[in-house]
């Protein structure tokens, strides 16, 4: 019988399972319920737009999906967004 040697969890599971096409809808929800949304959007306008580009969000989504051992991702791994990049 197999023994579990590692367990990993994340509090971001909705973001990992949400298809990239639905991310704009989540942004709309945040825009309506978070008072600081507009200010944060202005502060991060220099870099956030390119991070939310459809090709970037699709690549990130694909990179986080479970794959059988030995298979490879269809696209290159996504990079972590940072304000300085």
pTM above 0.85, yes or no: no
> Could you give the angle at the alpha carbon of 60 between the alpha carbons of 54 and 72, nearest 5°?
120
Q: Which of 3, 5, 22 is closest to 14 using CA atoms?
A: 22
Q: Mind listing the pLDDT tens digit for each residue in 21-70?
A: 998 888 899 889 999 999 999 999 999 889 989 999 999 999 988 777 66
């Amino acid at each position: 019988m197999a023994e579990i040697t590692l367990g990993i969890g994340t509090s971001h599971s909705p973001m990992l399972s949400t298809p990239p096409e639905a991310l704009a809808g989540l942004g709309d929800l945040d825009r309506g319920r978070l008072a600081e949304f507009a200010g944060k959007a202005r502060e991060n306008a220099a870099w956030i737009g390119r991070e939310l580009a459809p090709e970037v969000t699709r690549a990130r989504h694909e990179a986080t999906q479970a794959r059988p051992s030995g298979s490879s991702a269809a696209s290159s791994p996504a990079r972590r967004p940072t304000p300085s990049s």
